[in-house]
Amino acid sequence: MQLVRRGQAPAFELIYERHSQAAFSLAYRMAGSRGVAEDVVQEAFLNIWRSGARYERSRGSVRTWLLGIVHHRAIDALRRSFVHEKRRASDEGLEETLETGERTDAEAARHEEAAAVRSALQGLPPEQSQVIELAYFGGFTHTEIAEMLETPVGTVKGRMRLGLEKMRHALGQGEVSLG
Amino acid sequence: MSTPGPDHAEWADAVGAYLLGALNSEEHAGFEAHLAHCPLCSRDVAELRVAADALPVSVPLVKLPEALKDRIMSVVRSEAELLSAAGSRADVPAEPPARAAAGRGRRSLAAWFMRPAVAFACALLLLAGGGLAGVLLSGGEDTRTVVAETAAPGADVRLVIGEDGATLVARDMPAPPRGRIYQVWLQRPGSDPVPTAALWSVRSDGTAEVAVPGSLDGVEAVLVTDEPQGGSEAPTKPPVITASPA
């Protein structure tokens, strides 16, 4: 990241090569549209290129930091352009998921991590996994979720916290590496 | 045992929503202000962040569009060349472009363009252009819109001029040819076009919002050409966009 901060395009390209697929996959999962996902990733990476100095190692790995930026950008896009509705109506989807045979070793390792996190998420009580999915991947605010589920806001916030606590416990037992 | 912050009761149940991005912007800012003074919530956030950070890992991988890298890297390489040309003063804080231009006049505009900090500030203006254009197009009292002539069939390009500067807003605009990038120029009567640091490409849907650096005082046309990455000191091709502010 120091080289990126100094304006070294090859160093930035390396960051892009390492993390762009995870970034695009997250944006696509949230937006449900390749076009919106491309815009989110483009804006996120250019933001990173222009503000590499803001990365703090103490806040986690480059990947975690970068995906956090993509997540915030995708939420902005969702809340700004009503992509929520488009996503529900989207016919794009699993046909674009990489087939097993196309995976590299790194992708295979990531696949194992993904399975562990999905298992932790699916192991939650449905009402907890539901609010986490709606918030993190849907980009909905806690008040929107409360209206959607006809549930008090305090209950929704409580489910979010409880769900994260249980996920943390499950991931700790599985020792999933998130670097 | 840690002591809770002064407004802990108000924010204590927001930790999960904060980590999941489920607070609106005002709540988000309020919670972060609370975090600065509340060891209990800071501890909770630190403990639960590992779970929130794991969520993107669960997403199925999808194929990455090949053209996306070209689009991003063409902008990055162009700006890297600008920074490289800037040398050691690249980290010098930028003056506002309008103030810098007004203070030095036209003679030194090229030198202003070459100042790295200013170039970088212009790049940041490009990034901010999206939000800015949205405000301007909403019909503010002090803005006016000029429809630009364009050589790109079907493209709709407008120059939105406000108190704080001008923005080119493009729709259905094709991407520049491979290996090239769009560059904005300011044309004054009887003079050659003056280069700006506004180097840009379009989004996947053909849209773009580009802040025009500097003042439009005396400018008869804002031009856009496609140029080699890093931009040019003089146009190498006829303009694809011509907007007359007057």
pLDDT in tens, chain A (179 residues): 555 666 678 888 998 999 999 999 999 999 888 888 999 999 999 988 887 656 666 667 888 889 999 999 999 888 876 545 544 434 454 434 554 455 566 667 777 888 889 999 999 999 999 999 999 999 999 999 999 999 999 999 999 999 999 999 998 865 454 44
Q: Which residue in the set A12, A25, A39 is minimally distant from B61, CB to CB?
A: A25
Give mean pLDDT, residues B200-212.
Answer: 80
Q: How large is the average pLDDT for residues B166-188?
A: 86
Q: What dihedral angle (degrees, nearest 10) is formed by the CA atoms of A119, A124, A125, A129?
A: -90
Sheet holding B144-147, edge to edge: B144-147, B156-162, B165-171, B208-212
Put simply, the answer to whether B63 touches A98 (Cβ < 8 Å) is: yes
Among B55, B120, B124, B127, pick the best mutation site for testing chain A contact (most A Cβ within 10 A): B55
Give me B196's structure tokens: 């700006």
* % of chain B surpassing 70 pLDDT: 74
Please give the residue that has the higher pLDDT: either A171 or B140: A171
Whether the CB-CB separation of A12 and A20 falls below 8 Å is answered with: no
Closest approach of chain B CAs to the CA of A14, in angstroms?
Answer: 11
- The Cα-based distances of A173 to A135, A167, B54 in angstroms read 25, 10, 14
Q: Answer yes or no: are the C-beta atoms of A50 and B127 closer than 8 Å.
A: yes
Contact across the interface for A46 and B76, Cβ inside 8 Å? yes
Confidence (pLDDT) at A163: 96
pLDDT, greater one: A1 or B5? B5
Report the complex ipTM.
0.84
Rounded Cα gap, residues A154 and A51, in angstroms: 36
Task: Kindly identify which residue of chain B lies nearest to residue A95, measuring between CA atoms.
Answer: B62
Residues of chain A in contact with residue B40, where contact means CB-CB under 8 angstroms, are none
Angstrom CA distances, B139 to B144, B149, B210, B213, B222, stand at: 8, 22, 18, 22, 22
Considering only CB atoms, B203 lies closest to which of A24, A39, A176, namely: A39
- For residue A164, the chain B residues in CB contact (below 8 A) are 16, 19-20, 48, 51-52
- Please answer yes or no on whether A7 and B90 come within 8 Å at the CB atom: yes
Q: How close is the nearest chain B Cα to the Cα of A22, in Å?
A: 7
Number of H helices, E strands in chain B: 8, 9
The answer to whether the beta carbons of residues A132 and A158 sit under 8 Å apart is no
Give Cα A176 to chain centroid, integer Å: 16
pLDDT of residue A97: 55
Please report the pLDDT score of residue A113 as a whole number: 83
Interface contact flag, A21 B64, Cβ < 8 Å = yes
* pLDDT bracket for residue B15 (50, 70, 90): very high
pLDDT of B2 reads 64
More confident residue, B93 or B229: B229
B41-77 pLDDT, tens digit each: 999 999 999 999 999 988 888 888 888 998 899 888 8
